[in-house]
Amino acid sequence: MTVTAPPKTSQVSTGLLYGLRLAVTAQAAALVVAASFAGQAVESESMIETHVLAGLIVHLVALVQVVLAVLVWRPGRGAGWPALASLALFLAGMLQHVTWLWLGAHLPAGVVLFGLIVAVLVWAWSPAAARRR
Residue by residue, pLDDT tens for the chain (133 residues) are 676 655 566 788 899 999 999 999 999 999 999 999 888 887 888 888 898 899 999 999 999 999 999 999 998 889 999 999 999 999 988 888 888 778 788 888 888 899 999 999 999 999 999 988 7
The whole-number pLDDT of residue 1 equals 64
The whole-number pLDDT of residue 20 equals 96
**In this structure, what DSSP letter does residue 132 have?**
-
Q: What are phi and psi of 3, to 5 degrees?
A: -100, 125
Q: Is residue 20 part of a domain?
A: yes
Q: Is residue 131 part of a domain?
A: no
What is the number of domains present in the chain?
Answer: 1
How would DSSP label each residue in 66-129?
HHHHHHHHTTT---SHHHHHHHHHHHHHHHHHHTTT-HHHHHHHHHHHHHHHHHHHHHHTSGGG
Q: Is residue 66 part of a domain?
A: yes
Q: Is residue 93 part of a domain?
A: yes
Domain of residue 119 covers 14-125
Q: Is residue 103 part of a domain?
A: yes
The whole-number pLDDT of residue 65 equals 97
pTM metric for this prediction = 0.84
Q: Is residue 57 part of a domain?
A: yes
φ/ψ region of 125 (left if φ > 0, alpha if ψ in -120 to 50, else beta) reads alpha
Q: Is residue 130 part of a domain?
A: no
**In this structure, what DSSP letter does residue 80 have?**
S
The whole-number pLDDT of residue 8 equals 60
Name the residue among 77, 56, 61 with its Cα closest to residue 20: 61
For residue 7, give the 3-state DSSP assignment. coil
Q: How far apart are CA 121 and CA 133, in angstroms?
A: 19
